[in-house]
Chains A and B, each alone.
Chain A
Amino acid sequence: MDDDHLDDYESIWKGILLATEQPDRYWMWDYKLRQSSRDRRFESYAIEVDRLTQGLIFIETQWHRAQYPPRYPLVYIEAIAVAPWNRSRLEDPPYLRGVGRALLLFARQRSLALGYNGRVGLHSLPDSEGFYRRNQMLEYGADPEKEGLVYFEYRSIQD
């Protein structure tokens, strides 16, 4: 992820939302990018197609531990998002499909590269739970420490 991807998020992804004066933590990705350049345990990546950002992911690679087997390290997805025009709810057909799944696959690849055997964890937003179930992530229920978001996890790909 670089400044171009941040610019895309803050201008065109959020452009309409800013124009409608809806509140947002627009600084979030800027902060995440700076955090990933300062602290090696954080990493940020973007999918770019046709010179525009289509999806973003921010992961933590050292401090989070799996539910199963307990205490084993995993890649934790702090944030993942796709551009507004890549949703069939808004666009029919969407501009691109598969961006979210590609990002999720990348998180697994990164986990393998780090020696974590493909273990990945995340807290899904309520409207996205179906996506993670469909991608066969194991569900561990609502997490009170994350405002009740449901925690999902991939085990080792050897399991």
Chain B
Amino acid sequence: MYNQLLAEQYAKTGNLMDLCSTEAWMEESAQIEDEVEGQVEAGLAMKDYQNQVKALTDEQSRQLRNQMRVQSTLFTGLHTWMNKWDLGAGFKDTYTIARRLIRQHLADPAPPLQTFIDVLLAEDSQASSADQLTQQQMIELLSAILTPEDWQVMAQAASQSISSQVLNTGLTQPRTAAA
């Protein structure tokens, strides 16, 4: 990267990542990554991963892309919905659990979920009608996917997370003798 450009950016804002908001930087980044076909891995630990990705067939690549589209759409809707649950300290762990539960359902989708997947993937446009579900429609879909047992698991995750937060706060407060 151009040291002078970086030095100027750092002097100006103290944050090199601000360059990622500039068109020139992003265009150059896209060009560079196109030239190397997106292969950027470094570190011995990534050797297997890079080799395996290289060996993907066109069909496997297509399946991965489809999975990504489905999960991105569902998780975006899930995150927006869960933001309204007012979970506070319990949000992160509950969201993680909810994602895992939805992934389990995606492995063997019931009709409402399968219909959603079929509509989403049937259209070539990246802005398919499934992507454009209203928030209410997304809530209805997620509600149809999640079972009563799933809700129990999520409630437990939220409860445990909040309990931990409270207990950790208690443990870190200095104790003073009563006056």
| Chain A interfacial positions (CB closer than 8 Å to B) | 2-4, 7, 11-17, 20, 22-25, 28, 32, 50-52, 58, 77-91, 94-95, 97-106, 108-109, 112, 118, 122-125, 127-128, 130-132, 134-136, 146-147, 149, 152, 154-159
Q: Which chain B residues numbered 68 to 85 have a C-beta less than 8 Å away from chain A? A: 68, 71-72, 75-76, 78-79
Segment among B13-21, B146-154, B158-166 that sits at the interface with chain A: B13-21
Q: Which A residues lie within 8 Å of B10 (CB)?
A: 112, 157
Please name all residues of chain B whose beta carbon is closer than 8 Å to the beta carbon of A155 when the two chains form the complex: 3
- Residues from chain A with a CB closer than 8 A to the CB of B37 are 87-89
Count of A-B contacts judged by CB separation below 8 Å: 202
When chains A and B are docked, how far (Å) is the Cα of A108 from the Cα of B65? Answer: 31
* Shortest distance from the beta carbon of B87 to any chain A beta carbon, whole Å: 15
Give the bracket for the number of chain B residues in contact with chain A. 35 or more
The answer to whether B6 has its CB under 8 Å from any CB of chain A is yes
**Which chain B residues in 6-60 approach chain A with CB under 8 Å?**
6-7, 10, 15-17, 19-20, 26, 29-30, 32-50, 52-56, 60
B45 contact from A28, A88, A100, A106, Cβ within 8 A? A28
B17 touches A4 (CB 8 A): no
C-alpha spacing A109/B103, complex, angstroms: 35
For the complex formed, measure the closest distance between the CB of B138 and the CB atoms of chain A, giving whole angstroms: 12
What separation, in Å, do the CA atoms of A100 and B37 have in the docked complex? Answer: 11
- Whether B1 is near chain A, meaning CB under 8 Å from some CB there, is yes
Residues in B lying within 8 Å of A, measured CB to CB: 1-3, 6-7, 10, 15-17, 19-20, 26, 29-30, 32-50, 52-56, 60-61, 63-65, 67-68, 71-72, 75-76, 78-79, 92, 95-96, 99-100, 103
Q: Which of B38, B43, B64 contacts A78 (CB 8 A)?
A: B43
Residue from A58, A79, A87, A108 within 8 A of B16 (CB atoms)? A108
- When the two chains form their complex, are residues A24 and B26 in contact, meaning their CB atoms are under 8 A apart? no
Q: Please, which residues of chain B bring their CB within 8 A of the CB of A94?
A: 33, 38
Q: Is the CB of B17 within 8 A of A52?
A: no
Give the Cβ gap from B99 to chain A, nearest Cβ, in Å. Answer: 6
